[in-house]
Amino acid sequence: MNYPDGSTYTGEWKNGKRHGKGILIYPGGRKYEGEFANDEMHGKGIITLPDGRLIESQWENGEQISARFSNGDVFNGTWSGGTFCGEATVTLPNGDRYSGGFKDSKYEGYGVMTYADGSKYTGEFKNGKFNGKGAISFPDGTVIESDWKDGHPVN
């Protein structure tokens, strides 16, 4: 099936809607290969980006709810317009884990960053960095409570 925007779909149909396994190719070269239900991406699928990178994804009624990137990052949460937004959790390949707010795919608002070495920052983020009130605790019991700006304590 060819669509007016230039995308194409090949796969299973039910009652005139994409349903079951299928492949959707977008004009820019991005490809989704996976499950559909009621004309929406729904279930498991793999996104191939134009540069060849792969994203294993999980969908609910057309909304992407999780992704495992080829670099090992794992994202569980809300997407909008191709960026992370709202509340989510990201686990990085090195074991670091962030849980909290996102805006434009950057840490934003309240969140908790737990590092693989056992240290943990709890507090406010802005533009992906510690900003506002927060505390970082270290495995040896040391705790630094501070106001933060661009990832650095200011008091």
- Looking at residue 25, its pLDDT comes to 97
Residues 36 and 95: their CA atoms lie apart, in Å, by: 32
- Looking at residue 46, its pLDDT comes to 96
Go through the domains of the chain in sequence order and give each one's CATH number: 1-70 (no CATH), 74-155 (2.20.110.10)
Residue 58 contacts residue 46 (beta carbons within 8 Å) = no
- Looking at residue 105, its pLDDT comes to 85
pTM of the shown model? 0.77
Q: What is the maximal distance between C-alpha atoms in the chain?
A: 64
Rounded mean pLDDT for each run of 10 residues along the chain, 155 residues in total: 95 97 95 97 94 91 90 86 84 95 92 98 96 96 95 88
- Looking at residue 86, its pLDDT comes to 87
Which burial class, exposed, middle or buried, applies to 30 when counting CB atoms under 10 A from its CB (0-12, 13-18, 19+)?
middle
Which burial class, exposed, middle or buried, applies to 45 when counting CB atoms under 10 A from its CB (0-12, 13-18, 19+)?
buried
- Looking at residue 99, its pLDDT comes to 97
